[in-house]
Structure 1
Amino acid sequence: MTDPSGFLFVVPPFTGHVNPTVPVAADLVARGHRVAWTGVPGTVEHLLPFDAVFLPATSSEVTSYAADMGARRSDLRGAAAFKFLQEEVLLPLGDAMVDGVDAAVEAFGADVLVVDQQALAGAVVGRRRGLPWATSATTSAELVDPLSGLPRVAEAMHRRRVELQVAHGIAPEAAEAGDLRVSEHLLLAYTAAELVGPLAIDSPVTFVGPSLGDRPEEDDFPWDTLDADRPTVLVSLGTLNAEAGTRFWQVAADACRDQPWQAVFVAPPSLVPDRPANVVVRPRVPQLALLQRVDAVVSHAGHNTVCESLAAGLPLVLAPIRDDQPVVADQVVQAGAGVRVRFARVRAEELRSAISTALTDEGLRAAATGIAKSFASAGGAAAAASALVELARP
C-alpha cells in the first residue's frame, strides 16, 4: 500500500453533513491511514465512532451561537432562508473556525483536508497552507446553482466568501479566483449524476453515491410493533426540522388515520398528541435499518434522507422546507422517483393521496430502483476513500 497519510475531516455542526464522513473515514483507516475530525465541540463527537479523534475548532460560545442561529432561521423560506444560512450561520462560523482548524492541522499532522461545503474554514486553511483539500459535497444543491435566478444575491454571497479569505491572509486575486465551496483538487458528491442533472460548476465532480457503510446507530426501536403484512411509511423531517413541523405532524397523523398502511413518525411524541393506532412515534430511529423495512418515505427533502431512501429503492413524498431542500425535491421529481407537496399548506387528503401514490405507483418505484442501481455502481464510501488516497499521493 502507499505510505499512510493523515486525513482531517472539517465539518459543520449538522448531523447530515457529518454522517457521510464516518464510513469514508472507516475505509481509510482500514487501508492503514490516520483520520480525525474538527468542528464545533458538543455537536459532532456523538456522531463519531467511540475511538474517533476529534479536535475542537471553536469555543463553546460558538456552539451556542450555531444552535441559536439554526433556531432563528426555522421560519424562513426560499431565498431568504438561503441568504440567512450563508450570512448569519456559515460565514460567521467559517470565520470563527479558521484558527481552530489551522491548529487542528498542526496538532494532527494532516496531509489532506476533507472539507464539507458548509465548513468554509477548512477551505480557507487548505488554500492558505497550500494543502491538498477535497470538497465533501453532502448536498447537491451547490452543484446546480440554487441562486441562478437571483444573480445579485449570488454575487453578494461570492463577495462575502472572498472577504473571508482575504481577512485570513489569502491574496485578493487568489481569493477572487477560487470558490470556497468547490475544491480545485477534488469534489466528492454523495449522489449520482442521474439524480442531480446538469451541473452549474466547471470543476470536475466525482460522484460516489451515498456514503452508508456501517454507520453506528442506536437501535431501541420497537420492531415488534410493525405488522409485516402491512405497507409501512417512514415520515421524517430530519434532525433540525422536527420541532418546526407542529402543523405538519398533525396533518400527517390525519392523513394516516384509518388507512391500510402503517407509519413511523420521527418526531417528539408531544407533537403528535392524537396518535392514530397505525402510527408509531419515536424521537429518533435507526434510519438505515428502518429503510430496509419500509415501502415509502415522506421527507423534508434533506439530502441525506433522500439519498439513503433512494439507495434502498424507495419512492418519496417530498415536503421541502428551506435551504437546499426545494432543489433536492425538484431533482427527485424530475428523476421520476417522487411526488412533491407543500410543507406549510398541505392538507390531510392531499398528503394521503401522495402517500398512496408513493406506495402503489410502479413508475415511481421503478425510477427509485434505477437510481439505487446507479448509487450502488458509484462505489459509495470505498470510492470516496480511493479518490482521497489518490489525492494524497505526492
Structure 2
Amino acid sequence: MSHARGFMRAVLICPPLHSHLRAFEALAGELTRRGHQAIFLTEPGIALQGGVAQATLPGPPAYPQPRRLLAEIATGARRTDRLCRDAPPLLRDIGPDLILGDQMEPASGLLARALGVPLVSVACAVAMDAEPGIPLPFLGWPHDTTAQGLRRNAGGERVADLLMLPQSRVIRRWAREWKVGDLGRLQDCLSPDLTLSQMVPGFDYPRPVTGARMAQLGPFRRGQMAQDFPSDIQPDAGRPFVYASLGTLQGHRAGLLARIAQACRQAGAQVLLSHAGCLSDDQARAIPADWVRPFVPQQAVLERADLCVTHAGLNTALECLAAGVPMLALPLTHDQPGVAARVAHCGAGLRLQPWQRSRVRITDAVRTLLSDSRFRTTARGFAAQGDSWRGAAGAVDEIEALVSPRTRATG
C-alpha cells in the first residue's frame, strides 16, 4: 500500500539504549502502518522488537554500554566513527528519502548532510536544540534569560565541550572529510528543519526561538499495549501506595534504593520497588520495601500509585504525568537533572539533589508530596490533556508534511 502523500523510505539511527530503541520502534511501526518503509541502521547484536526491518553494519557486535560517564562518551565516539565509516555504502544501496536521527547520535546528521538526504531529529530525552536561557539537558539549572543566567549556561557549555572532546574530534574529522561545513558539536548535527520531541506541552521550559521547528508530541509509545497490575501485589487501599524505580540502568544502586524504601515506610506508605534486574536475589531481599521486583508493568502500577520516586528519566516522568501521579525526582545522570528541574518547575513534584538524599530528607519529601494536594492536582492537569498528545501518529504527520513533497513518486 502507498500513502496518499507519497511513499517514503526512512532510515532510523539511534544509540542502542532501551528507551531510545523502543521510542524509535514506535515511530517505525507508525511509518509502516501508513505504507512507508522504515529500516533501522544498527551495529551487529542489537535486538529490535516488532519485526522492524534492520540493516546491519559489518564487523563485530556493538560495544557494551558502560555506566561511567567518560567511558560512555568514548564508546559513543567510537560508535559515531563506525557509522560514518561503514554506513555510506549501505545507505547508497537503500536509497533513503529521509534519515530519522536520534539527537544523541551525531552520525545521523553527518550522514544526512553527506548524502544530501533530509534529516529529522528525534529528541527521545530532553531536546538538545539551543535556546537562550535553557541550560544543557544534563544541568538541573532553571530557565534564566538574564545576563547572569546566560553566563552560567555558557560556562556549562564550556565544561560540556571539554567532556565531549572525543565525540567532537570524530564529528570534525568526518565533517572535513565530507566537506559538509564547520561541524564540531552534537548540536551542530541536528536538523535545521524539524525536531520531534517526546515532551508534552507545559512541561518543558519555554522555547520561543526553536519552538517553530520543534513538535512536542508526548510519548511515542503511549497506549500501545494494555497492561495488567501484578496479581501477587495487593496494596492496602487505606494507606498510600508508592512506586519507586531508578530506571533500567541505575537499578544497581542498592544503598539508595534501601533508603527510599525506608523513607517511604517511615512516611506511612507502602512501597513497590523495581530494580530492572540489576540486583542479585540477596541484594533484593535486603531492600526493606513491601514488594521488590526486577520488573513490573510500569503503566499499570502508576495507575494505582499515589506517588512515584524516580530517577527522573524522561519516559518515566511522562508516564507519571499521563497517569496524574506526582513525583519525587532523584536525578542521577544524563538528562535526568534537566528532567527533574522541569518536574519541580511545573509543580508536578519535588526534586532532591545528590547531597540531599539522606533517609530523613527523603522521608520529609515523601510526606510533603503525599499530604499536599497541589502536586497531584498539577499532575492530574497534565493527565487531563493526555488525549491531545499526538505521539507517534503526530510525529509521522510532521514527517510527511516536511518530507513528502521531496520524495520520489510511487506507482
Note the alpha carbon deviations across 1:309-330, whole angstroms, 9 max, x for none: 1122111001111221111111
Q: Does 1:120 align with 2:106?
A: yes
| Superimposed CA distance per residue, residues 242-262 of structure 1 (whole angstroms, 9 cap, x where no aligned partner) | 11x121012122223365432
Q: Is the 2:199–2:219 Cα contact (8 Å) retained in structure 1?
A: yes
Question: Which deviates more, 261-270 or 119-128?
Answer: 261-270
Classify 1:343/1:40 alpha carbon distance in 2 versus 1 (closer, same or farther; 3 Å): farther
Residues 344 and 284 of structure 1: CA distance in aligned 2, closer, same or farther (over 3 Å):
farther
143, 152, 155: which one pairs with 1:149? Answer: 155
1:316–1:101 Cα change, 3 Å: farther
Q: Compared with structure 1, are the counterparts of its residues 41 and 373 closer, same or farther at alpha carbon in structure 2 (3 Å cutoff)?
A: farther
- 1:112-143, Cα deviation, whole Å (9 max, x unpaired): 11111112211111111111111110111524
What is residue 22 of structure 2 aligned with on the other side?
A: 19
TM-superposed deviation, 1:54: 2.2
Give distance in 2, aligned partners of 1:391 and 1:85: 37
Larger CA Rg, structure 1 vs 2: 2
User: Judging changes above 3 Å, is the alpha-carbon distance between structure 1 residues 231 and 318 closer, same or farther for their aligned structure 2 residues?
Assistant: same
Inter-CA distance 172–133: structure 2 relative to 1 (3 Å threshold): closer
User: Structure 1 residues 211, 307: closer, same or farther in 2, change over 3 A?
Assistant: same
Equivalent position to 2:124, from 106, 120, 138: 138
Query: C-alpha root-mean-square deviation of aligned residues, in Å?
Result: 2.9
Q: Could you tell which deviates more after superposition, 330-339 or 357-366?
A: 357-366
Q: Structure 1's 62 and 275: CA in aligned 2 closer, same or farther, altered over 3 A?
A: closer
Q: Following TM superposition, by how much is the alpha carbon of 1:239 offset from its aligned partner in structure 2, in angstroms?
A: 0.9
SS at match of 1:358: helix
Secondary structure of 1:272's counterpart equals: helix
Amino acid across the alignment from 2:104 = Q
Residue 76 of structure 2, aligned match among 90, 99, 103: 90
Deviates more, 1:194-203 or 1:301-310: 194-203
1:170 alignment partner, one of 175, 178, 196: 178
1:210 and 2:222 are equivalent in the alignment: no
TM-score when normalising by structure 1: 0.84
Counterpart-to-counterpart distance in 2, 1:165 and 1:44: 30
Give the TM-score, by structure 2 length: 0.81
For 1:78, the equivalent position in structure 2 comes to: none
Correspondent of 1:239 among 245, 248, 268: 248
Q: Deviations over 1:190-227 (max 9, x none)?
A: 1034211133964721111121235569x797333222
In structure 1, the residue corresponding to 2:232 is in which secondary structure? helix
Residue equivalent to 1:39: 42
1:273 offset after TM fit, Å? 2.9
Residue 2 of structure 1 corresponds to 5
Instruction: State how far apart, in whole Å, the 2-side matches of 1:311 and 1:304 are.
Output: 11
User: What stretches of structure 1 of length at least 5 have no aligned partner?
Assistant: 74-80
Which deviates more from structure 2 when the two are superposed, residues 145-154 or residues 363-372? 145-154
Question: For residue 141 of structure 2, what is the aligned residue in structure 1?
Answer: none
**Alignment partners' CA distance in 2, 1:352 and 1:43:** 40
AA aligned opposite 1:223: S
Change in 2 beyond 3 A, CA 1:159/1:12: closer
What CA distance in whole angstroms lies between the structure 2 residues aligned with 1:238 and 1:378?
A: 23
In 2, distance between residues paired with 1:166 and 1:381? 34
Residue 292 of structure 2 aligns to a residue in which SS?
strand
**CA distance in 1 between partners of 2:165 and 2:254 (Å):** 35
Contact 1:10 1:101 in 2 (8 A): no
Q: Please identify which structure carries the higher helix content.
A: 1
In the other structure, the counterpart of 1:54 is: 54
| Stretch moving more, 34-43 or 198-207 | 198-207
- Aligned pair count? 374
Q: Distance in 2 between matches of 1:40 and 1:228?
A: 47
Extract unaligned runs of 5+ from structure 2: 137-152, 407-411
1:234 aligned partner, one-letter code: Y
Which residues in structure 2 correspond to 1:192-341 (within 5 Å)? Answer: 192-199=200-207, 202=210, 204-215=213-224, 222-227=230-235, 229=237, 230-243=239-252, 245-257=253-265, 260-267=268-275, 268=279, 269-276=281-288, 279-341=290-352
CA contact (8 A) 1:5 1:111 kept: yes
